[in-house]
Amino acid sequence: MKSVLRALAIAALVVPFSIHAADELSEATVKKVDKTAGLVTLAHGPIANLGMPPMTMTFKAREPAMLKKVKAGDTVRFRAEETGGAYVVVRIEPAK
């Protein structure tokens, strides 16, 4: 019984952190958008969920239509994930 209670206590601590981490967005400046190819080049800060330091790189957009709302020079918040060995932007929005 003690082990079950301990497991529940640990889960109560871990679950809120996991939910927050899944929504974590990184900041970047859009350098280039290729809507036809579904690519966006970002000069980004650290990407915590990928363990990636700041750099400039090109990402594939999971949904090319999401690139309609950004243009070169915009400051954005985004979420990138590793999918099939490639880094993919799964969410992007103008910074507030």
What is the architecture, at CATH level 2, of domain 25-94? Beta Barrel (2.40)
Low-confidence ranges of the chain (pLDDT < 50): 15-20
* pLDDT value for 2: 64
Give the pair of three-digit tokens for residue 50.
């990928």
Annotate 29-63 with b (16+ C-beta within 10 A) or e (fewer): bbbebeeeebbbbbebeebebeebeeeeeebbbbe
- Give the Cα separation of 9 and 48 in Å (integer): 26
* pLDDT value for 21: 54
Give the pair of three-digit tokens for residue 60.
């594939």
* pLDDT value for 23: 75
* pLDDT value for 96: 81
